[in-house]
Amino acid sequence: MIRVLVVDDDFMVARIHVGFVERTEGFEVVGVAHSAAEAEEAVARLRPDLLLLDLYLPDRYGLDLLADLRGGPHTCDAIVITAAKESDSVRAAVRLGVADYVLKPFGFADLEERLRRYAGQRSLLARAEVVGQEDVDRVFLRAAGSAQPLPKGLSPETARLVEDALKASTDALSASEVAESVGMSRVSARRYLEHFKQVGRADVALRYGSTGRPERRYRWVG
């Protein structure tokens, strides 16, 4: 389970975020903090894996808190959840290595998608074996790819269905097989599959028949 500390000065908003996290498989809320001071104490005591961090806290700016935590005895990842749309805030968050940046208001499906993406990236980095530069490049490509938004015309809901179809199969699947499983056209399935390949979340192999072009078959690796 990924242990989450929710940090938000609004008690009602914090409660909503707790509910969202608890509804997401693989995550559990270990604590709630309503100020930077409370968050700092909770991080030291509870040792969470992930912060859901509001920026506008009553006693301190959230990114200043995060910068101090980065130098402390227990480091944890952070997803910023805020109404701050300023470019400086976004750039500062990127420099501090936040896992994601979510603007309020948002719904459960949006946060769930980002939490699942974070879990995938965390799992990838935990499994990575580095022997040479090629392994390093693969880790960076896939870690960056897991945070990329979907291309225009692709929906998160359908992407999840395609992802689930790949994960559920012990064998590599063709675009036609995925299309039949999900209930969509082969062309559309191919677009999602190629996107997953491009960002490093699916591998593709060619199956050669007696005639015609080889068939592309996809396996989930993300």
Number of Cα atoms under 13 Å in the Cβ half of residue 194: 9
Label residue 207 by pLDDT band (50, 70, 90).
confident
Length of the chain: 222
Query: In whole numbers, what is the pLDDT of the chain averaged over residues?
Result: 87
Burial of 17 (0-12, 13-18, 19+ CB in 10 A): buried
Q: Where are the beta strands (DSSP E) in 8-112?
A: 27-33, 50-53, 77-82, 100-103
Label residue 37 by pLDDT band (50, 70, 90).
very high
The pLDDT tens digits of the residues spanning 98-135 come to 988 999 889 998 899 889 888 877 876 776 677 777 66
Which tokens go with 45?
Answer: 């005591």
Cα–Cα distance between 22 and 204 in angstroms, integer? 34
Tell me: domain 2-119, CATH 2.30.140.10, correct? no
pLDDT(202) > 60: yes
Residue of higher predicted confidence among 195 and 146? 195
Which residue ranges does the chain devote to CATH 1.10.10.10? Answer: 149-220
| Domain 149-220: assigned CATH number | 1.10.10.10
Question: Are the beta carbons of 163 and 178 closer than 8 angstroms?
Answer: no
Which tokens go with 97?
Answer: 């290595």
What pLDDT is recorded for position 108? 92
Cα–Cα distance between 29 and 111 in angstroms, integer? 14
Which residue ranges does the chain devote to CATH 3.40.50.2300? Answer: 2-119
The pLDDT tens digits of the residues spanning 55-68 come to 999 999 999 999 99
What pLDDT is recorded for position 187? 93
Rounded to 5°, angle at Cα 149 from 21 and 33: 30
Lowest mean per-residue pLDDT among 41-50, 80-89, 105-114, 146-155: 146-155
What pLDDT is recorded for position 24? 93
